[in-house]
Amino acid sequence: MSASYGFGDLETKGYNVLAAYRHDDQSQVKSTERDFAKTAYIPFDFRGNHYIYDRTSTATIPANVTATFNNNIPSIGFSPYLKKTGNCPAMNFVSLNNTATTQNCAFDFVQTVEVVPENKRDGLFLKGTLNVSDNLQLFTDFAFSRFDITARIAPNTAPFTIVANSAMYNQYVAPYLTAQQLANVKAVSGNYRTYDWGTRDSRTLTDSTHFVAGADGNFSGWNLNSALT
């Protein structure tokens, strides 16, 4: 929305004033509202070959687990959810980086972000001119703008420690370890995505002010112009 208004006349009244205002309001566009941006996991075929473009994250909900062991036993990583059900939950995929010792899920964080952030912009412009005499004219400009933007990005990652023999350990970790691994546990951690806490949001306000006052005249055959900005 924009509007402008002017009044006065330099020729007949010796002055004029112009005022203009504009307001822009853009609502957020979520990634899931656009086919080209709705996921970080994109299978596609090219020249008879099958590919997957994968930018998913191993900070997931529910969390993946990493366990290390004493006595040179190789460390492992796994998703307790994947181990129990054979599948990954909604918004997750079986990680393409899995190996014989790693069976993780991977979180599609792109589904939580925006392609266009919510923003508002207001702008005001004022301009005035005054004829002091036939040889002297005063002028002034004033401009003000405010840009208000709220950006929302994927929820935080939250790595945490799982204490051996705790309730969480006994339910989500111990059932998927071998007897040798159970006897040599060194450390266990989880890699969690705080999806239930919402996105990471940041609001930025940017104000801009501009002012000019000056004079324009003719004296003794000279054209003179001076202004303060």
Task: Write the pLDDT tens digit of every residue in 139-184.
Answer: 999 999 999 999 999 999 999 999 999 999 999 999 999 999 999 9
Euclidean distance between CA atoms 174 and 10, whole angstroms: 87
The answer to whether 111 and 38 have CB atoms below 8 angstroms apart is yes
pLDDT band at 220; cut points 50, 70, 90:
confident
- Is it the case that residue 70 has pLDDT exceeding 90? yes
pTM over 0.85: no
E strands present in the chain = 2-9, 15-26, 29-30, 41-46, 49-54, 64-69, 76-78, 92-94, 102-103, 105-107, 114-116, 118-133, 136-153, 157-161, 185-193, 200-219, 222-228
- Average pLDDT for residues 110-114, to the nearest whole number? 95
The answer to whether 30 and 85 have CB atoms below 8 angstroms apart is no
- Average pLDDT for residues 192-202, to the nearest whole number? 94
The answer to whether 22 and 31 have CB atoms below 8 angstroms apart is no
Q: From the CA atom positions of the chain, what is the Rg in Å? A: 32
Percent residues over pLDDT 70 in the chain: 100
Of how many residues is the chain composed? 229
